[in-house]
């Protein structure tokens, strides 16, 4: 796909007129990455805005003693490091590529200039930022007010909704799910065990079977 097509295909820029697309085309850069590539480390000066054209990226914050917290997973079609364009000088998180990805980037200066001459994209950006704010909001809430069991219940309900079935595959390794939920695999394992013991779900390898969805909803609060 040509760079121009890539731009037009991204919901973020889909409403731009062709002149704007042209000017964007000139300042945007595209590159391919492999699993475990690092785009930037937390603390580095923030120079670029990124945009995931295809693939998957995770934004992670880690503490000096090696503990890690997933802040956000960036799916294709989404931007990240928007905030770094308008405030602060450093990336606050580390960005790790989790699967083969095509990623576009724009330098801070070019991006700000583009926004100034195409103010209509502001609305898209503010929309994206707002979604992010909500995401972080619920993340804070989850971390401070809800238990692992509750977070797990929420995740299972979400998956059930997505697949439209009460029986589904997890789709990710349990250790990764643990990470997503802000815990470790041992704790996740024990939580699965408890849910199985109380007859709420059935777990066989990677497939989940929701038995008592009401109890699961209660758990999720």
**Which positions lie near DNA, rule CB under 7 A?**
67, 147-149, 173-175, 182-193, 203, 206
- In the bound state with a copy of itself, the residue whose beta carbon lies nearer, of 67 and 164, is 67
The neighbour count for residue 160, using CB atoms within 10 Å, is 17
87/145 with CB nearer DNA: 145
88 near 18, Cβ under 8 Å?
Answer: no
Query: If we measure between CA atoms, which residue out of 187, 129, 195, 127 comes closest to residue 156?
Result: 195
For 64, other C-beta atoms within 10 Å of its C-beta total 5
Which tokens go with 67? 């503990």
Q: Taking CB under 8 A as the criterion, which residues in 75-94 touch a copy of itself?
A: 82-88, 92-93
Instruction: Quote the CA–CA distance of 13 and 18 in Å, as a whole number.
Output: 11
Q: Binding to a copy of itself (CB under 8 A): which residues in 129-188?
A: 129-134, 136-141, 143-146, 182
The H or E element containing residue 97 is strand 94-107
Collapse the DSSP code of 86 into the 3-class scheme (helix H, G, I; strand E, B; otherwise coil) and give the result. Answer: helix
In angstroms, what is the minimal distance from the CB of 204 to DNA?
9
Q: How far is the CB of 186 from a copy of itself (least distance, A)?
A: 17
Q: Which residue has the tokens 């790790």?
A: 96
Residues within window 91-120 making contact with a copy of itself, judged by CB under 8 A: 92-93, 115-116, 119-120
Q: Which residues bind a copy of itself (CB under 8 A)?
A: 61-64, 67, 69, 71, 82-88, 92-93, 115-116, 119-120, 122-123, 125-127, 129-134, 136-141, 143-146, 182, 221
């Amino acid at each position: 796909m040509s760079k121009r097509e890539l731009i037009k295909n991204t919901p973020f820029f889909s409403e731009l007129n062709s002149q704007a697309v042209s000017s964007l085309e000139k300042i945007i850069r595209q590159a391919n990455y492999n699993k475990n590539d690092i785009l930037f480390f937390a603390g580095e000066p923030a120079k670029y805005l990124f945009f995931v054209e295809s693939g998957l990226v995770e934004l992670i914050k880690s503490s000096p003693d090696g503990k890690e917290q997933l802040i956000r997973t960036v799916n294709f079609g989404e931007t990240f490091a928007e905030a770094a364009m308008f405030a602060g000088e450093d990336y606050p998180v580390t960005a790790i590529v989790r699967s083969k990805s095509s990623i576009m980037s724009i330098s801070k200066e070019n991006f700000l200039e583009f926004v100034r001459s195409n103010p209509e994209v502001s609305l898209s950006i503010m929309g994206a930022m707002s979604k992010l704010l909500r995401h972080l909001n619920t993340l804070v809430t989850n971390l401070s007010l809800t238990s692992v069991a509750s977070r797990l219940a929420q995740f299972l309900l979400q998956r059930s909704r997505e697949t439209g079935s009460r029986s589904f595959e997890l789709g990710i390794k349990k250790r990764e799910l643990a990470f997503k939920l802000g815990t470790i695999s041992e704790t996740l394992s024990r939580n699965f065990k408890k849910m199985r013991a109380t007859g709420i779900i059935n777990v066989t390898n990677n497939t989940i079977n929701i038995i008592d969805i009401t109890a699961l909803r209660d758990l999720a609060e």
